Amino acid sequence: MVSDADGEVLYLIDGYAQFFRAYHAIRTEMHSPVTSEPTHMTFGFTDMLLKILRNHRPSHLAVVLDVSSDRGTFRSQMFPEYKANRDAPPSDLKPQVDRCLDVLGQLGVPAFGLEGVEADDVIATLVRRLRRDRPELEIRIISKDKDLQQLLDERTALFDVHKDEVTGVAELEARTADPKRGLEGISPAQVVDMLTLMGDTADNVPGVDGIGPKTAANLVSEFGSIDGVYACIDAEEDLKDARRRIKGKRRENLVAARDRIPLGRALITLKEDCDVDFELDDAAVRLDRVDAEVVDETMRVLGFTRHRTGFRAVLGGEGDVDAGSPATGVAEEAPAAAPDAVSDAAGTLFAFGDGDVSVTMTPSLTPVDGDYEIVSTLDALEAVVDRAEAAGVVAIDTETDSLGPRTAKLAGVSIAVEEGAGVYVPLRSPTPETHLDLDTARPQLERLLGDPSIGKIGHNLKFDLVVLRAHGFEIRGIVGDSMVASYIDDATRATHKLDALSESELGRRCVPIEALIGKGRNQRAFSEVPLEEAAPYAGEDADVSLRLERRFRRRLVDSDLETLYEATEVPLVEVLAGLEFEGIRVEPEVLDEQREGLQARIETLRASIVDEAPHVFSPDSPKQLAAALFNAPDADPPGLGIKPLKKGKTGPSTDAEVMEKLSEDPGVSTPIPGLILEYRQLTKLVNTYLVALKEAIRPETGRIHASFNQTVTATGRLSSSDPNLQNIPIRTEVGRRIRRAFVAAPGHVLLAADYSQVELRMLAHLSGDENLQAAFHRGDDIHAAVAAEVEGVPLEAVDGAARTAAKMVNFGIVYGVTAYGLARRLGGDTDVARADQIIRDYKARYPAIEAFLEACVEQARREGSVSTILGRRRSIPQVHARNPQERAQGERMAINTVVQGSAADLIKRAMIDLHRALPTRFSTSRMILQIHDELVFEVPEVEIEAVADLVRERMENAMELSVPLVAEPSWGTSWADTK
C-alpha cells in the first residue's frame, strides 16, 4: 500500500477514464435487484471510491469529467482526425455514469468539468495552480493516461488504486531508463517529446513510424529533446562521435515526420490555463456530513452487499450486512474481472452528447413532440418568412459540416415560428435536386435574417451568427438566446447545453447528433444525412430553443433579471460573434523567429548549466539536477555539496521556490539555480505559447479566431479559449515577445485601451468610502495615497515599501487577503504580525470599505446570493457551511463576486456601446479582442486619433459612478507596441 503523506493529500480522479476502466474490467452482467438497471460498471467504480476512502483517507477528493461541446475541443479543431478512431460507447454505460455521479453527490465529492475541455487539461490546470498556491500539497491523479506523466513532480504522482501502485518522478525515470546503453530515464519535462515521437494510436495522434515507447524514451534521453534529435540529424556529418549518429530507416522516418512534429507536440501538450472555477476547499472530504442512510439505501437498491458494509464502516455506521439478505440478492464477491491490460481509453471521449455532469438521476423522459417539415421550394420558404413576419419572433439554428464556425460549410437552416413546430431549409444534402441551393434561397433568407423587426432567438446564437456571416448574411434583430438565459438564471448550473436543458427543463429528450452522423471512423457530414432524418433533428433544435428561451425569460422576469438579460447579455452575443469572426492577424514568421531565438538561448543555457556542474547531467531531470547541486563532491556522481532546503518525495526538492532562494543566497556561488529558472521559463514559453499559437492560426485568414465565452464563469467575467489569449503574460518581457507577433493589417494599427484600476474604482463606488473616492477625484497615485492615509504621513513622504504594501492590500482586500497571505506577498522582514497590523490600519482608515465587505457577506447569508451593480446574481451556499474553511471561502466569494462581477458588467456595457458606435462613424474600424479590462481594435491609420477619442469617451462613460473612470488608449503596429 502507498503510504499517504502526513499533510493534506488531494486525489483527482479522471472520471471517464475510470468509468471505462470499470466497465471493461468486469465481464459478468449485473443488474439491480430493485430497479433492474445495469450495475457492473457502477460496482467497479464505487469499489474504487470505497478503497480510496477506506485505505487512504484523503483530505481532499474530486472527480474531473470530460464535458462535450458542439465545437469539439481545441485539439479536434486543430486536427479533425483527433480521436476519430473511437467507437461509440455501449448503450448501458451512460445510465451507470449517472448513477455513479449520484453516489458522488451523496458522498459530497465534487464532479465537474469544463464544456469543450478534456479532463486531462482541467487536471493540468488544477495541478499547476495548486503547485503555485499550495506547494506543500500532495496530489495523486487516479488515471493511467500517459499524457498526465508530464505533470509529475516531487509531490504529484499518478496512482493506480487497484494495484496500490504509484508512478512518480523516480518511477518514471526508472521505467524509461536503458542501463544497457547507459541512458538515464526521462523527466516529466521530457514526456511530451517522448509521446510526440511515439504518437498515440488510442487518440489517433500520429507519431514517427517505427518508433515505440522504448526507442522514443532512449532518443529523448540521449539527445535531451526532439530538437536535440533533429539537431543531431542536421549536423551528423560534423559529429566526431559516430555512435551518436542517427542512421538508416530510423533517420528516414524521423526526416519524413519532421513537418508533423509540431502538430503532435501541440496535441499532446496539456493546457494549464483552463478557466476552471475550483477552490481546494471545494474538494475537502467531510464524511461526518454525509447522510449515511442515503448512501446505505443506494447500495441496497444496487444490490452491493459488500459495499454496504464498507460504506457503513467508513461513514461510522452499523456493522456488516448479511450477504444473503433478501434485500440484495447479490453475493459479496465481485464479479469476474477482465485482465488489467484493458485500455482506459476504451470507448469515445465526449461520448454522451451534452456530457451532463449533474449528480442527480435522470428522470423518465419522452422524446420531444413536434411537427417538423422540410422546406424544399421557394414558395414554401416564402410562406415561412411571411409567417415569421406576422409572428414577430422566430428561433433559428444552423446545421454545418464542422464545428469551427468561421470555416464551417452551411448545410441548412432551421426555423421555428411557434412552439411545437419547426422547418428545415436544406441547402446541401445527398439529394440536392430535391431542395433549394444557397443562391436560390438567399433572397428569402436575407429577407428573414436581415429584418430587425423579426426578433431572432437561438441557442448559442453566437455560433450561428459567425457561420451565417461567413456565408454572406447579416443577422439583425437578436432578442434572445436560451443558453445565455439559462446562464443568467443560474450561472452555477452544471451545463447550459441544449439537450441537457431540454431534459431538465422540459422533460424531453432530444435526438442525439450521434444518431445521425455516427462516431469515429464512420462519422459522416451533416450534409450527407438523408433529409428525412436531418429535418426532425434540425427542426427540433429550433423548436426547443424557442421553448427554452420563453421558459427562462418568464423566470428572469419573476427574478427581476430581465433587464440584465435584454440590455446587456443578449446584445453582447452579437459583439462576441464579431470578435470571433474578425480575429487578430498573427505573423507565424515572428513566432518562428522568437522560437528559434529562444531555442538557441535554451541550448546556451543547457550548455552553461552542464559546464558549471561537476558532472554531465540533463537539466530537465529534477533527480539529476538534485544530484548535481546537493551531492557531496566526493559522491558518485559528484555534486556541489549545497545544503538542501527541503525534501521532496524522491529526494531534495529542486522546485521553483528552492531555485529562487538558492539564486538569491549570497552563500551559494554557483549560477546554476538562476540558469535553471530561466531555462525552465523559456522552455515552457516555447512549448506552451509559441508552438500552440502558431497552430491556432487559420490558414484561410492568417488570423487567430479565439472563442470568447459568455456562459462559463460564475462572476460574469468573459473567458477566452482556443487559444486562451487572456493567459498571455501582460507585464513581462515574455508577454511582450509573444505580443509582437500579433499585428495589424497593412494600412492599419492596433489600438488597445484598458481601464485604470477598475476594480478599486468599483470598490470605491460600491462602498461609498469618502477617503478612497476623494483620492480618485484628485487623480492621486492611489497606492501611494492609501499608504499615506494608513501611515499618517504626507503623500510625498511615502516610500516604495509603504506603497507596495498598500498596493498589496488594495488588490488583496477584494479577495479576502489574510495576514499570512499578505506577509507572504510582501516578503522581506514583514511577518504575520506586521501584516495583520497593516490590514487593521487599512480598515480603520477606510471604515466604509470594511462595512461594505461585511454587507456583501451578510447579503449572502440572508438571501443565499449576492448581486453585482447590474443585478447579476450568484448563489453562494458555502456561507452557511459548518466547516470554517468552507464558510470563509464562501465569504471571499461573496465579496469577490460583487466587485469583480460589477467590473465585468462595466466592460460589457463599454463593449456594447462601442460595437454600436463604431460602424456609424468609422465603418472600417473593428473591435477584435477583449482581455480582462482591455479592449483591442484594428483601425485604419488615418482614423486612429479620432477612434482613440471615441474609445476613451465611450469607455469612461459606460456607467455613471461616484468616481471617475479612466481609460488609457495607446496604439502601434503590433500588440506589444500598444503598451
pLDDT in tens, 286-330: 888 888 888 988 999 899 988 988 898 888 754 444 433 333 333
Distance between alpha carbon 453 and the CA centroid of its chain, in Å? 38
pLDDT of residue 222: 85
Query: How many CB atoms sit inside 10 A of residue 295's CB?
Result: 21
Mean pLDDT of 428-441: 94
Q: Quickly count helices (H) and strands (E) in the chain.
A: 37, 26
pLDDT digits (tens, 9 = 90+) for 832-845: 888 888 888 888 88
Greater model confidence, 527 or 729: 527
pLDDT of residue 953: 97
What's the grid cell of residue 181? Answer: 546503453
Mean pLDDT of 729-751: 88
Sign of CA dihedral 88, 92, 95, 101: negative
pLDDT digits (tens, 9 = 90+) for 903-956: 999 999 999 999 999 999 999 999 999 998 999 999 999 999 999 999 999 999
Mean pLDDT of 348-369: 37
* Confidence label for 1 from pLDDT (cuts 50, 70 and 90): very low
Domains in the chain: ranges and CATH = 1-167+276-362 (3.40.50.1010), 366-583 (3.30.420.10), 588-694 (1.20.1060.10), 713-758+904-978 (3.30.70.370), 769-894 (1.10.150.20)
What's the grid cell of residue 857? Answer: 457577506
pLDDT digits (tens, 9 = 90+) for 31-47: 888 888 899 999 999 99
pLDDT digits (tens, 9 = 90+) for 470-497: 999 999 999 999 999 999 999 888 789 9
pLDDT of residue 315: 86
Measured distance CA(174)–CA(2) in Å, rounded: 18
Q: Give the SS3 label for residue 155.
A: coil
Query: How many CB atoms sit inside 10 A of residue 476's CB?
Result: 13
pLDDT digits (tens, 9 = 90+) for 247-287: 888 888 999 999 889 888 888 999 988 888 888 888 889 88
What's the grid cell of residue 795? Answer: 503623500
Query: How many CB atoms sit inside 10 A of residue 310's CB?
Result: 21
Q: Give the SS3 label for residue 77.
A: helix
pLDDT of residue 794: 84
pLDDT of residue 816: 67
Strand partners, 937: 751, 927
Mean pLDDT of 147-158: 92
DSSP label at residue 242: G
Q: Which of 919, 923, 966 is nearest to 754 (CA)?
A: 966
pLDDT of residue 244: 54
The stretches of 141-260 forming alpha helices (DSSP H) are: 169-176, 191-198, 213-223, 226-234, 248-257
pLDDT of residue 485: 98
pLDDT of residue 588: 94
The stretches of 671-769 forming alpha helices (DSSP H) are: 672-684, 691-696, 733-739, 758-767
pLDDT of residue 569: 98
Q: Which of 826, 888, 834 is nearest to 842 (CA)?
A: 834
Q: Which phi and psi angles does 487 have, rounded to 5°?
A: -65, -45
User: How is the beta sheet containing 926-931 ordered, strand by strand?
Assistant: 926-931, 934-940, 748-755, 967-972
Least confident range from 188-202, 348-362, 685-699: namely 348-362
pLDDT of residue 170: 84
What distances in angstroms separate CA 158 from CA 139, 170, 382, 633, 750, one per listed residue?
A: 8, 12, 61, 34, 45
Work out the burial of residue 339: count CB atoms within 10 Å of its CB; fewer than 13 is exposed, 13-18 middle, 19 or more buried. Answer: exposed
pLDDT of residue 814: 63
pLDDT of residue 206: 87
Greater model confidence, 790 or 41: 41
Mean pLDDT of 871-897: 86
**Residue 124 pLDDT > 60, yes or no?**
yes
pLDDT of residue 691: 81
The stretches of 518-620 forming alpha helices (DSSP H) are: 531-558, 562-564, 570-582, 588-612
pLDDT of residue 766: 97
* Confidence label for 236 from pLDDT (cuts 50, 70 and 90): low
Least confident range from 697-706, 824-833, 877-886: namely 824-833
Least confident range from 369-383, 509-523, 597-611, 871-885: namely 509-523
pLDDT of residue 888: 82
pTM, whole model, 2 decimals?
Answer: 0.67
What's the grid cell of residue 79? Answer: 486536427
Share of the chain above pLDDT 70, in %: 91
**Residue 365 pLDDT > 70, yes or no?**
no
DSSP 903-960: HHHHHHHHHHHHHHHHHHH-TT-EEEEEETTEEEEEEEGGGHHHHHHHHHHHHHTSS-
What's the grid cell of residue 921? Answer: 462613424
Greater model confidence, 701 or 622: 701
**Long-range Cβ contacts of 397-401 (<8 Å, 24+ apart):** 397/458, 397/459, 397/464, 397/538, 397/541, 397/542, 397/545, 398/463, 398/464, 398/467, 398/468, 399/424, 399/526, 399/534, 399/538, 400/467, 400/526, 401/428, 401/525, 401/526, 401/527
**Residue 57 pLDDT > 90, yes or no?**
no
* Confidence label for 650 from pLDDT (cuts 50, 70 and 90): low
pLDDT of residue 921: 93
Measured distance CA(478)–CA(458) in Å, rounded: 9
